[in-house]
Every structure is written in structure tokens, then in C-alpha cells.
Chains A and B, each alone.
Chain A
């Protein structure tokens, strides 16, 4: 009985993957793959899954705007294709389609920044999971990138405040705590951030101390 009761309902709707799955039918998918049996099978499975899929060959210089996901065939005879757009900041995630595991192929997979991989001959099984994983990985990545950006900003601000405190300490002979209070009072009365006041003090000091 105990075993039967394990697991439970709480786990079902946790995780962003569920969200990705729920919206899979609104997903715009591009397929950069030669028009052959594997390309056909790829498209057919995307249609079974119910995505809005479009095939291109030869590949255009970039996927159309609003594309959510791109499949790219990386076969030995296609490795010369240039996918420069993959390096751009808001490029859609890529799932590589490979038929070799040679170092050159793997290198190309890394160069296009693939977030998922399926193998050729293309099989229907595994495609949906690869897609969800790729989208989820990118979502997580974007989340942590923006977090890192926020933290960097914050860290920079903290350095500036510390520098401004030092300046006030030298010029006014106040303690560091009192210096901080002065900066904060200024920020409040001017309705700007503490960081901005600190930054103004630091640049004023730089100008005044020029000889």
C-alpha cells in the first residue's frame, strides 16, 4: 500500500517544461534540411506534434523573424554552410541533426551553439523531448543571463558607492557610515538612486582632482 501511495499529484505541474509543452502547438519551427527522406520525416513528425513548421533548403541567411526553434542538418557534405546568425544575441535555439559523431561534426554542432541534437536516419521518437529540452535550456539560460547582468550592475554600483564614501571621508572627514547616509539623503531629496549620486560624486572628484 505504501508504495502505491508514493508519488503524487504535487509534482505534475511543476517545472517550466510543462509550460513549453502546453504551448507546443503555437511554436514556429524552421527546418534547414535537404529535401530528402529524412527531411520529410522531420517535417511529418513536426506536423504530428502539431507545430507550425516550415522547411527551407538551401538555408536562408537567417531564419524568419519570430522563429522559436531551428533544426539544422549538419552532415559531412553540408558543413561548409555558414550559419553566422547562430552567434547573434537573440537567435532562436538550434537542434542539430547529425549522422556522424566525428570530431569535425561535433565541432560544428558546438559552433552553431546547438541546444539539442537528434540523429539521422530521423526517427519520430525523441524529437518532442529534444525540442522541449532545447527550449527549456534556452529559457533557463536567458533567465540566468539576465540575473548575471543584474548582479553585475549591482556590483558595479556597490564599487561606486564605496568609492564615493572614500571621497567624502577624505574631503569631509566623516565616517564611512555617515558618508553613506549623506549619499542616501541626497538620493532621496533628488529622487534618484544611491548609485547615481555616488557616481556623480566620483566623476566630480575625478574632474576636480585634475591638475
Chain B
């Protein structure tokens, strides 16, 4: 007789704490996909049952709850994590218990764990394209501001390499603010920006402080058409928190925006809002959180097991039609092939896509020295 037992999967996204807003969208993206799989008959008739906890944006909680998921709840697969520090906390657990972490967030690269599937963008899939767009459209003189942790520093390193490749390229300022930074801190930054007059601002401010930066910018009356803020992490969620009026005109690079014009995406977004009232808006991480559940379900259907030794080979190299386009998992480095896009925030709180890649770009998480020629592959990165 066929196995009819439900399949338990773990979910670890923070519903409270400093990154709760974006992580809640990841939670709902995951749940949406789980429901879709179940409504379509589950995995060969077996229902997916999510076991979810709130790690409260705290790495220690992530580690303890991951341990509990695999040792007490008996899950073999975890969907979760946003900040790198939380992923680093969970990796030893999944490695020890021979389970798999699906990680849907963009991050700085330079990592490979045999027990992780990475579905967010690495720098050669978002930073490079952003640097190219900003330096060619706005100019090569940049002011960099970020939250004080590893992702901003690595992102700025890459941005600096690009800026220095341009004639007259220059770094006019580079500031890091703690997560506890106040309105006054951001005001001071913007005052400096007004004096220095860079061609654009590169922001890697994350979490709830994002609002303070864009607000201070708007209050200073600077024109985004002349000196936009460029970001990798300001998504539809942050815009919804801040208000569309103070974000309009600013630029974000990501493999997905809610405005992606595909049938699948439209259907997916519609289902999402029908299913979840007052849910945070779809965004790049949300989309990865969504499609990685379907990648898992497909792989498990074809191998019939959620045990590591069966499931991982079945996952690697697999493809799926995601809202952003057809994505696939690289068998060599466990990261996903994605479609770089550049979006300009508009008055409706959405992104107008101003450039997009016609082909998916292979992930290269260990790339130290980026170059425009090598990666943009001009023919496929075209104006939308």
C-alpha cells in the first residue's frame, strides 16, 4: 500500500524582531506554496505539514529551533533564514543531522554547504548589474551607506571595484550605521550627501532602519531623478512600510519584482492576496521562498523520499518555472540560476522594470573580482 503519511517540513522565519516585516513575507510565500502543493494532491498523495516556529530575528533562537525541528519534530527539510548570521547558526545543525536547509535570501556569497540549497541572488546576479546601471545612467561618483554587518561591507567592496573601473569613478563617502541608528544619524548622513553631491547613493541599509534613510532623503528635498538611492535590499515590503511617495524614483536590483509581467506571476500574486489578508507584498525573497518549496516537492516526487541521500541528488540540476522565469539549481554549487533585473520604484509602490536579463545568469558565489565584460554578457542584459 502506498505511503499516506504526511511529510513534516520545518519553517523558520521571524515574525518578531528587527527583520520581522520581510521575514513574514517569506513565511507567507512558503505557506502559499505548501498549500498549492497540498491542494494539488500533495506529494504523491502525501500532505505537507509545516512545523513552524518564530526565531525572533535572533541567531541563537534559530540554532535552538533548528535543532528542535530535526531532533524532536523529526523534519528532514527546513525552509528558513534571512540574515547571514542566522543561516550560519543553522548550517551546523543541518550538517550534523543530515538534513537540508532551503535558504531564499540574497547574500554575499563565499559559502557552500552540502546541506544547503541557496535560491537567492549572489553578487554576480545583482550587484554587478546594479553597479553597471548606476554608473552608466547616473555617473561614477558614489556615496555608500550600509548597516554595520558583513553584507554591506562585501557589497561595497564589489561596488568600489566597479566604480574605480570608470573614468572619474570615486567613493565620496562610506558610512556604516548600527541597527539602532536614529533619525538624527540619518539626517547627518544626508547633510553630508548634500555637501558632497555624489552621482548616486548606494544603500545596503537593511531592516527597519531603511525607512529612516529614505525619509531623511525625502525631507532634504533631493531629486531622485538626479541622485537616486540604489539598493539590493529595498523591496516592495520596505516600500509598503515607508510609503510609496518617499521611495518613488529610487533603484533596486533583484531577480524578481511583483511587477514581473508573466502569467505565472500574475496568478501567483492573485492567489497570495486572496489567501492572506493584510499580507506583506510579494518581493524577491518572497518569490524564492515560494519557488523553493515547489522545487522541493518536485524533487521529492521524483525520488520518493525526503532523506538527504535521495533528495539532494534529485534536487541538484532540477528546474522549475518560477514567477521570475525558468530557474534551475546548479549541481556544482547548490545555488540557483536567476534573472537579474533593475527596477525603479514608482508612485504606486511598485517597481517599473527598466532592465532585465533575457537569460538566467549562473551563480558564481566564489567570484572575487567582478568585471562588466565577463558577467553582463551584454546581449542578454537589455533594456526592458
Interface residues of A (CB under 8 A from B): 1, 3-9, 12, 21-22, 24-25, 41, 44-45, 47-50, 124-125, 128
Contacts and interface: CB of A to CB of B under 8 A. Distances in A.
B176 A7 contact: yes
A112 B185 CA distance: 55
Interface string B359-384: 00000111111000000000000000
Contacts of A44: 332
B176 A125 contact: no
Interface of B: 110-114, 148, 157, 160, 171, 174-178, 181, 184-185, 188, 332-333, 364-369
Nearest to A46: B366
B332 A50 contact: no
A9 B184 CA distance: 23
B181 A21 contact: no
Given A12-B160, A48-B112, A125-B113, A1 B188 contact: yes
Contacts of A8: 174
13 contacts: A3-B178, A4-B177, A7-B176, A12-B157, A24-B368, A41-B114, A48-B366, A50-B366, A124-B111, A125-B112, A125-B113, A128-B110, A128-B366
Nearest to B148: A4
B150 to A, nearest CB: 12
B174 A9 contact: yes
A125 B111 contact: yes
Contacts of B157: 12
Contacts of A12: 157, 160
Given A4-B178, A5-B176, A9-B171, A50 B160 contact: no
A48 B333 contact: yes
Nearest to B146: A4
A150 B244 CA distance: 67
Contacts of B174: 8-9
A22 B332 contact: no
A21 B368 contact: yes
